[in-house]
Amino acid sequence: PSAPSNLQVTGTTSSTISLSWGASTDNVGVTGYNVYRGSTLVTTVTGTSYDDNGLSASTSYTYTVKAKDAAGNLSAASNSVTGTTQSGGGGGGGNKLLGYFVEWGVYQRNYHVKNIETSGSASKLGYINYAFGNVTNGQCAIGDAYADYDKFYDAASSVDGVSDTWDAGALRGNFNQLRKLKAKHPGLKIIWSFGGWTWSGGFGQAAANPAAFANSCYSLVEDPRWADVFDGIDIDWEYPNACGLSCDTSGAAAFKNLMSALRSRFGSSYLVTAAITADGTSGGKIDAADYGGASQYVNWYNVMTYDYFGAWAAQGPTAPHSPLNSYTGIPIAGFYSDAAIQKLKSKGVPSSKLLLGIGFYGRGWTGVTQSAPGGTATGPAPGTYEQGIEDYKVLKNSCPSTGTVAGTAYAKCGSNWWSYDTPSTIAGKMSYSKNQGLGGAFFWELTGDTSNGELITAMKNGLG
Q: Tell me how far apart the alpha carbons of residues 192 and 215 are, in angstroms, rounded to a whole number.
A: 15
Q: Where are the alpha helices (DSSP H) in 274-420?
A: 285-288, 291-294, 337-346, 392-398
DSSP conformational letter for 399:
S
Q: Phi and psi of 457, rounded to 5°?
A: -65, -40
* 247 neighbors 204 (Cβ within 8 angstroms): no
Mark whether 390 is an active-site residue. no
Q: What is the distance between the alpha carbons of residues 120 and 113, in angstroms, rounded to a whole number?
A: 12
Cross-strand partners of 235: 194, 274
CB burial string 60-87: b at 16+ within 10 A, e below: ebebbbbbbbeeeeebebbeebebebbe
Contacts of 388 (CB under 8 A, 6+ apart): 310, 311, 312, 363, 364, 365, 380, 381
Pairing of strands 361-366, 300-303: unpaired
Do the beta carbons of residue 50 and residue 35 sit within 8 Å?
yes
In angstroms, how far apart are the furthest CA atoms of the chain? 68
Query: For the packed helices 337-346 and 423-435, what is the interaxial angle rounded to 10 degrees?
Result: 20
Q: Are 36 and 109 in contact (CB under 8 A)?
A: no
Catalytic residue among 103, 117, 238, 445, which?
238
Give the three-class secondary structure for 220: helix
The reply to whether omega before 382 is within 30° of 0 (cis) is no
Rounded Cα distance between 227 and 115, Å, is 23
Distance between CA 166 and CA 71 in Å, rounded?
65
Q: Which of 154, 148, 259, 246 is nearest to 199 (CA)?
A: 246
CA distance 287 to 280: 9
**Residue type, position 346, single letter:** S
Q: Which residues are catalytic?
A: 238
